[in-house]
Amino acid sequence: MTKFNKTLLAAAVALASTQATAAGFQLNSQSAAGIGRAMAGDAIIADNASVLARNPAAMALFDQKALSVGVSYADVNVEVSDAQMDFMGRTFELGHIDNAAEAKVIPNAYFINPVNDTFAYGFAAFSNYGTGTDLTPLANNHGSLGPNTIPAPADLLGNTEVTTVNLNASASYRINESLSLGLGLDVIQASGTLTRNSNILGSLVDVEADGWALGGIVGLAYEINPNNRFGLSYRFSPEMNATGDVRYLAENFDEINIPIADIAQFAGFHQLTEKFAVHYTAQWTQWSSFDQISLNEGDKGTASHSLKEYHWKDSWFLSLGATYDINNNWTVRTGIASDDGVVGEVSSLSIPDSDRMWYSAGFTYNLSPKSSLDFGITKVVGEKVHVIEQSGLGSTVNAFTESGATYYSAQYNYKF
């Protein structure tokens, strides 16, 4: 396969990992209560069943069955400005895109069943990764060099839609009054559609692929007393092998291999007064394991090709939140978080990542002693970054990117 072909396909797959409103292509939107406190303390608060997404050991804190069902709406915004193409010493303007991202609807559901004082199990469905971007308008621009038309680098630009679903089954075991352990199995399904084309070059890449993979999570919960506790978890993420139709010109491929990062997090919760509590999270994501994307040629039976190498760095998500019980019916919460970008020395237009800040607020309304509604909103503000990237078409692209999002989330909780 030529270097040009590899670059086209690598860029297509790389766009599957853009702008999920957290570092890399990670989502932090597993519950409405978490959205309302910038996910601070979510691995140990255990105020509803959604804690299962963060720490299976925290199921030991429940003394009755719990159900949580919710949905988040991520209004993502990605701006690309001052895009230029440098070719043979000449600079050509490619224009800008006010919003290159697609909004996402992200549902979730959780169930926890404490069998006795020692053992509990639970099931969950949520998402840790996903994206949707469209840079095609820039791909349709071009420059002129004498009588020759210089096409925009369509290998770096295009439309992407990727969705992941994490199906989890977990169990917890209480060792003593203070310590509980948890273990869970993740079954992850991913699907995506990728197109790379322009009015001048035509269709370069057309991809429809999906796949399944297995991962897992381990966790612990430590209770100093009923008002102070800590949680720790580690999620083992797999390498996704997506199969389907992958076509570039006359060559067919059928498997894309994408490594997904492991996630570790530590959380604390402290009930300082009868009504007021503080909580926090330190989440580490091993994005350095996202070292390369490879592709297999299904119709030729050849070995895997290394399409593109990355120099990503591990990232930290640090959040601090507070909760206040106004009365028996109303609880309010807020939070703030810093989210490290993952792109190191090598930047990419297809992954316009940056450091971000989270500003969150939310509330719970108790419908009855057994049921409640959670609402949360988060504003994610990313930095403006300068991107320089070499195209497989022989040109260099310069552009500024700025990304952010607003999360809106609602959730229903029931204990029985």
Q: Which residue range is the domain that position 274 belongs to? A: 3-415
pLDDT at 367 over 80: yes
Q: Give CA angle at 403 (397, 405), nearest 5°.
A: 155
What's the mean pLDDT when you consider all of the chain? 83
> At 157, is the secondary structure helix, strand, or coil?
coil
Spatial distance between the Cα atoms of 194 and 204, rounded to a whole number of angstroms: 11
Query: For residue 154, what is the DSSP state?
Result: G
Instruction: State pLDDT tens for residues 118-174.
Output: 999 999 999 877 666 777 788 787 777 778 788 887 777 777 777 788 999 999 999
Pairing of strands 148-151, 159-174: unpaired
- Helix H or strand E encompassing 416: none
Which of these, 257, 242, 259, lies nearest to 162 by C-alpha position? 242
Query: For residue 61, what is the DSSP state?
Result: G
pLDDT range class, residue 25, cuts 50, 70, 90: low
Name beta bridge partners: 263: 235, 285
pLDDT at 21 over 90: no
Number of domains the chain is built from: 1
Q: What tokens appear for 5 in the block?
A: 């072909």
Q: For position 222, which CATH number holds?
A: 2.40.160.60
Q: Is the pTM of this model over 0.85?
A: yes
Q: Give CA angle at 235 (70, 207), nearest 5°.
A: 75
Spatial distance between the Cα atoms of 141 and 94, rounded to a whole number of angstroms: 6
- The total number of residues shown for the chain amounts to 416
Residue 156: left if φ>0, alpha if ψ -120 to 50, beta else—which one?
alpha
